Amino acid sequence: MSGTLVLVRHGQSEWNLKNLFTGWKDPGLTDLGVQEASEGGKALKAYGIDFDIAYTSALSRAQKTLDIILEEIGQRDLETIRDEALNERDYGDLSGLNKDDAREKWGEEQVHIWRRSYDVPPPGGESLKDTGARVWPYYVMEILPRVLRGEKVLVAAHGNSLRALVMILDRLSRESVLKLNLATGVPMVYKLNADSTVASKEVLGDMSKAH
C-alpha cells in the first residue's frame, strides 16, 4: 500500500461571505472560516494521522487554513511547500465582482457558463480545464511521488484547484465534475495504490454544506 493524500478546501473567506468572485485575489478567512478549518483539524486529529509534508497555494486563505489545521493536530512545524500551481481558478475580469452584479452585466446564462462550464474561461481568466492544466502536472511531478513512496501528504487549497485534482482521483467525467462541490474545511482522505489509482476514499465531515 502506498501513502495517504488528504485534500482540504480552505474555510469560508470574507469574499465567499460577500458573494464575490475571488480567484487570485487574497481576502482573509471569516470567523466561520477559522472555525471550519479548526473543525477540519479536529477531524484529522480524531482520525489519527501524522503528516510528512504539506502543500498549499500562494494565497493566504489556504495558508491560514493549513496553519490552523497543523495547530490542531500538533504539527505546527511541519515542512510546508507553497506554490501558485495550487491557487484558485483565476476569474479574470470577474474577480472582486458581486455574482449578482455580474449576472446583471453579462446575463444569467453567460455567467453560469463561465462558472460551470469545463472549458469556457471568463474574460481574462481561467476555465476549470485551464486550472487543471497547471494543477495536474504539479500533482504528478511534486505530490504524487511522495504519496507513492508511502508518505502522508496534506494539501490545503481551493474549490477549483481541488476539483481538478478530485476529477482525476475519482475519475470523473467533464460533465460530472461540473456538479462537484467541495465543502469548506472538510478533509478528504485518499489511500492510493502503487499504480496511483485510489484504493479508498473517506470524507471526515459534512459534505452537505458544500456550495
Query: Above pLDDT 70, what percent of the chain?
Result: 97
CATH superfamily of 4-209: Phosphoglycerate mutase-like (3.40.50.1240)
Beta-sheet strands, E only, within the chain: 4-9, 53-56, 80-82, 152-157, 188-192, 198-203
Q: What is the pLDDT of residues 101-110, one digit of tens each?
A: 999 999 999 9
Residues 6 or more apart whose CB falls under 8 angstroms from that of 158 comprise 9, 10, 57, 59, 62, 86, 87, 88, 89
Q: What is the pLDDT along the chain (211 residues), one digit of tens a residue?
A: 679 999 999 999 999 889 999 999 999 999 999 999 999 999 999 999 999 999 999 999 999 999 999 999 999 999 999 999 999 999 999 999 999 999 999 999 999 999 888 999 999 999 999 999 999 999 999 999 999 999 999 999 999 999 999 999 999 999 999 889 999 999 999 999 999 999 999 999 876 555 5
pLDDT at site 208: 58
CA distance linking residue 5 with residue 144, whole number of Å: 9
Cα–chain-centroid distance for residue 68?
16
* Whole-number Cα distances in Å, 33 to 104, 118, 125, 154: 29, 27, 25, 18
pLDDT at site 1: 61
Helix %, strand %, coil % for the chain, to 5? 45, 15, 35
Report the catalytic residues: 10, 88
Residues 6 or more apart whose CB falls under 8 angstroms from that of 100 comprise 19
Which 8-state DSSP code applies to residue 65?
H
CA distance linking residue 172 with residue 17, whole number of Å: 29
Domain range summary for the chain, segments of one domain joined by +:
4-209
φ/ψ region of 196 (left if φ > 0, alpha if ψ in -120 to 50, else beta) reads left
